[in-house]
Amino acid sequence: MRDLPIDTDYLRDLLLRLLAIPSPAGFTDAAVQFLRTELTGLGIGYELTRRGAIRANLPGRRYSPDRAVVAHVDTLGAQVKRLQENGRLELVPIGHWSARFAEGARCTLMTETGRIRGTILPLKSSGHTFNEEVDTQPVGWRYVELRLDERCANAADLMALGIHVGDPVAIDPQPEVTESGYIVSRHLDDKAGVATLLAAAKAVLDAGVELPVDCHLLVTISEEVGSGASTGLHQDVAEMVTIDNGTPAPGQNSSEFGVTIAMADMTGPFDMRLTRSLIGLCREFGLPHQRDIFRYYRCDSAAAIEAGNDIRTALLCFGVDASHGYERTHLSALADLARLVALYMQSPPTDDRY
């Protein structure tokens, strides 16, 4: 087992390319096609599930029982709820996120015939008209609307543009990579996780190491709406590690640096033997890490267990400040996490009962 070097240029470039592709949950086909091309370029075999998730494979000495590492490519977003008589659109969120972070967001409405740019605004958005009422109006999805950059004075104008109830709205990520190594963008949850997963796989392939068991790379498409890894796992998978964001915030132990290892989320504790084996790898190879527990959080691990999969699960995180908002992490955290994932892929199976 070797601590493999991570190609951080590849990781950063892949993340930025992935962020440029809108993929709110329910509308992930373009991002999945991009990842299919990326996997082909890396020489990694894969298949698509019926629902459109990706199930790739790094072969090992033994093919069953084996393990999986999962990340999700779907993101938060919105959908058209109603075409309003003022020529604007009422929205409902895709996934669980506050309208506070939607206010002022530039976005793209994806209709059946094309794409239309716009901005999500509070109902009272003119400072020169509403004065202090701009600050005192409630916060919530009922109090925002989508202003399109088209000439729309009424609902008939919206219908003439081919807009329908249910059309998806993709929020601009607005990514920025600073000279100090910070990555600031919406949708780091969990496109940074997908980029990290592929960077770890690339490190394994570049080094030519032999894995002890097959390792499936699963990219799910509906984590933000709760179903995620409920489908897509081979029945010979005995353990699964999820990659997702941690939550640096008051009262939490997550960090934007190093690896954050989750001990539990709102669904309960993660498998202790698998989790402690990951902590052991951090200690053995000197990886900076911390542990945390999340009260208002669930991930692909929960979806897999609730679907009846008889597997051990663990959660590895990169710390994201302002999660489900204007997110930020650090490139070094993604690199450290990729190192740990590559070590996990090389490590012996967690349980002798295999």
Place of tokens 């690199």: 335
90: annotated binding-site residue?
no
Catalytic residues: 223
Tell me the C-alpha distance between 354 and 338, whole Å. 25
CB crowding 46-81: b at 16 or more within 10 Å, else e:
beeeeeebbbbbbebeeeebbbbbbbbbbbbbbbbb
87: left (phi over 0), alpha (psi -120 to 50) or beta: left
324: annotated binding-site residue?
no
189: annotated binding-site residue?
yes
Give the closest residue to 189 by CA, choosing from 53, 327, 330, 68: 327
Tell me the C-alpha distance between 270 and 273, whole Å. 9
282: left (phi over 0), alpha (psi -120 to 50) or beta: alpha
- Contact indicator for 237, 68 with CB cutoff of 8 Å: yes
**Residue ranges at the known binding site for Zn(2+):** 72, 189, 224
**Residue ranges at the known binding site:** 72, 189, 224
